[in-house]
């Protein structure tokens, strides 16, 4: 591959990009469950206009771009408030959930080393905790002690307790965990972390911009945020159900002193003083400004309406699946995540990946996950207006694939090429 010597016109370049997108999922029609979150036309408009303003700006140095410093502190502040952060709560914006989690892992390692002298740090988590924690352990040299989940898919705190010891620097809970959408017993996990003075991180990448509004709508939510005493840090993705475009998440620490463990400061370079809040250097202003604009545009009332719609979509989907013979929803996920699996008591059980192929042929895109074989849906306002069509197609597809087995058994949460 070689880049052509001669450049091409703006129109020609853009036309090529438009053509390239032909095989991409058509998220705008609502048939993709996750990955793109559609808050409606005005939300897209405000994001796009903010993006245009900040496309070229760089948050590397907020002395040059003080507006980005303000934007960061306001988005962080609003999020901390939603998550009941106490006085002194502090955070940063990152590029996404993975980076927020990496920062939390790093902060836990650094605190364990500084305050407890730990040189062989360990993380204790359930098998439902996001893969990004394993990535963090890999990058930063921690050992992961992973435990089974309970029958209801929540973290098994007794099993975790057996893995916690003097080298534990981080104990993880999720609100909710991604695969089945259930909220872990956060108070018990925080207590477990406190028993060895380890950090407790709550991964609310998925729930951070859902659960606060679910609670305001009057639906029961178990305790999970900073109101739980022993929670040190929380990750919450604005680019999921915060309805901001990709590239923005919030990492919060209970205090500035705890946040200090994730930052890097260096004053021995010919280039001058270097202070880094997260893992990036040069940092696009676009996602930060777009997130600010989306949050301002929606306000609490906007989020309440999007959340109400999301819950209606997800509840309808769960009820529809329950009414189809041969398939079921795993776990008691009450919010926006739906894990669709075969009902093993029906003979022969439906091959869930064959079902996924049949749905895909009709334009419905799910993550394929496992074990066990599951089609995963992150339901949002994006899917408003299509659920009845989906359930009708699902019913037909289940009938169609009875007795079939798909060749492709691969799962695909994230890919390389």
Ligand X SMILES: *Cc1c(COP(=O)(O)O)cnc(C)c1O
Which runs of E-coded beta strand occur in 150-223?
Answer: 168-174, 199-203
Question: Please, what is the minimum distance in Å from the beta carbon of residue 187 to ligand X?
Answer: 19
Q: Which of residues 159-218 bind ligand X (CB under 6 A)?
A: 174, 178, 203, 205-206
User: HSE (CB half, 13 Å, CA atoms) of 36?
Assistant: 16
String marking each residue 257-296 x if it binds ligand X according to CB under 6 A: ----------------------------------------
130 binds ligand X (CB under 6 A): yes
- The partner residues of 174 in beta bridges, in order of sequence, read 203
Residue 39's closest CA among 282, 358, 307?
A: 307
Phi, psi of 135 (to 5 degrees): -60, -45
Q: With CB under 6 A as the contact rule, which of the stretches 91-99, 119-127, 208-216, 264-272 interacts with ligand X?
A: 91-99
Q: Which is nearer to ligand X, 101 or 190 (CB)?
A: 101
Residue of the chain from 91, 96, 212, 277 that contacts ligand X (CB under 6 A): 96
Three-class secondary structure of residue 280 per DSSP: coil
- Write down the least CB distance from residue 66 to ligand X, Å: 27
Site membership for ligand X, residue 32 (CB under 6 A): no
- Closer CB to ligand X, 167 or 199, in the complex: 199
Distance CA 206, CA 38 (A): 15
Q: Which is nearer to ligand X, 132 or 137 (CB)?
A: 132
Task: By CB under 6 A, name the one of 32, 98, 150, 233 that touches ligand X.
Answer: 98
Q: Give least dist CB 47 to ligand X, A.
A: 16
Q: Is the CB of 96 or the CB of 326 nearer to ligand X? A: 96
Tell me whether residue 337 or residue 397 sits nearer to ligand X (CB atom). 337
Kindly state whether residue 97 participates in binding ligand X, applying the rule CB under 6 A: yes
Taking residues 214 to 243 in sequence order and writing x for each that binds ligand X by CB under 6 A, - otherwise, the string is -----------------------x------
Q: Which of 36, 75, 132, 200 binds ligand X (CB under 6 A)?
A: 132
d(Cα 331, Cα 376) in Å, to the nearest integer? 12
Question: Minimum distance between the CB of residue 349 and ligand X, rounded to whole angstroms?
Answer: 27
Cα 187 to Cα 231: distance, rounded to the nearest angstrom? 8
What is the Cα–Cα distance from 354 to 360, expressed in whole angstroms?
A: 10
Based on C-alpha coordinates, what's the Rg of the chain? 22
Shortest Å, Cβ 211 to ligand X: 12
Which CB sits closer to ligand X, 25 or 406? 25
CA atoms within 13 A on the CB side of 314: 27
Nearest approach in angstroms of CB 207 to ligand X is 8
First and final C-alpha spacing in the chain: 16
100-129 binders of ligand X (CB under 6 A): 101
Nearer to ligand X, 97 or 285 (CB): 97
Q: How many residues bind ligand X (CB under 6 A)?
A: 13
Alpha helix positions (H), 175-273:
186-195, 211-216, 256-259
On the question of a cis peptide bond just before residue 348, with omega within 30 degrees of 0, the verdict is yes
For helices 387-401 and 352-361, the axis angle rounded to 10 degrees is: 130
What burial letters (b/e) apply to 206-230, b meaning 16+ CB within 10 Å?
A: bbbbbbbbbeeeeeebeebbbebeb
- Binding part of the chain for ligand X, among 38-46, 63-71, 95-103, 403-411 by CB under 6 A, reads 95-103
What is the C-alpha to C-alpha distance for residues 312 and 335, in angstroms, rounded to an integer?
Answer: 10
CB 90 within 8 A of CB 256: yes
In the complex, what is the shortest distance from the CB of residue 126 to ligand X, in angstroms, rounded to a whole number? 12
Name the residues that contact ligand X, by CB under 6 A.
96-98, 101, 130, 132, 174, 178, 203, 205-206, 237, 249
């Amino acid at each position: 591959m070689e880049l052509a010597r001669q450049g091409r016109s703006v129109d020609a370049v853009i036309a090529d990009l438009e053509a390239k997108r032909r095989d991409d999922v058509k998220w705008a029609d609502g048939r993709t469950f996750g990955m793109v979150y559609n808050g409606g036309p005005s939300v897209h408009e405000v994001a796009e206009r903010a993006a245009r303003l900040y496309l070229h700006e760089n948050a590397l140095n907020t002395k040059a771009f003080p507006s980005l410093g303000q934007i960061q502190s306001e988005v962080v502040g609003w999020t901390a408030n939603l998550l009941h952060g106490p006085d002194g709560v502090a955070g940063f914006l990152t590029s996404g959930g993975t980076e927020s989690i990496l920062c939390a892992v790093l902060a836990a390692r650094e605190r364990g080393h500084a305050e407890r002298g730990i040189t062989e740090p360990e993380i204790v988590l359930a098998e439902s905790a996001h893969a990004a924690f394993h990535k963090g352990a890999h990058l930063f040299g921690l050992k992961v002690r992973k435990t089974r989940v309970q029958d209801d898919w929540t973290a098994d705190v007794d099993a975790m307790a057996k893995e916690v010891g003097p080298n534990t620097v981080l104990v993880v809970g999720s609100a909710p965990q991604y695969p089945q959408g259930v909220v872990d017993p956060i108070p018990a996990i925080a207590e477990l972390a406190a028993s060895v003075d380890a950090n407790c991180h709550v991964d609310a990448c998925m729930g951070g911009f859902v659960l606060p509004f679910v609670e305001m709508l009057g639906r029961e939510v178990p305790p999970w945020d900073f109101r739980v005493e022993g929670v040190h840090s929380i990750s919450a993705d604005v680019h999921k159900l915060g309805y901001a475009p990709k590239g923005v998440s919030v990492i919060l620490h209970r205090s500035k002193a705890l946040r200090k463990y994730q930052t890097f400061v260096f004053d021995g370079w010919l280039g001058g003083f270097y202070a880094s809040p997260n893992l990036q250097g040069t940092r696009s202003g676009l996602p930060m400004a777009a997130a600010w604009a989306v949050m301002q545009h929606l306000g609490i009332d906007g989020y309440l309406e999007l959340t109400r719609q999301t819950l209606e979509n997800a509840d309808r989907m769960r009820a529809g699946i329950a009414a189809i013979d041969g398939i079921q929803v795993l776990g008691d996920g009450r919010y926006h995540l739906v894990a669709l699996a075969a009902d093993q008591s029906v003979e022969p059980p439906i091959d869930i990946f064959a079902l996924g192929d049949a749905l895909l042929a009709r334009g419905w895109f799910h993550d394929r996950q496992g074990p066990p074989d599951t089609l995963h849906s992150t339901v949002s306002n994006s899917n408003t207006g299509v659920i009845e069509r989906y359930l009708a197609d699902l019913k037909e597809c289940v009938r169609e694939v009875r007795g079939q087995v798909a060749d492709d058994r691969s799962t695909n949460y994230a890919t390389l090429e």
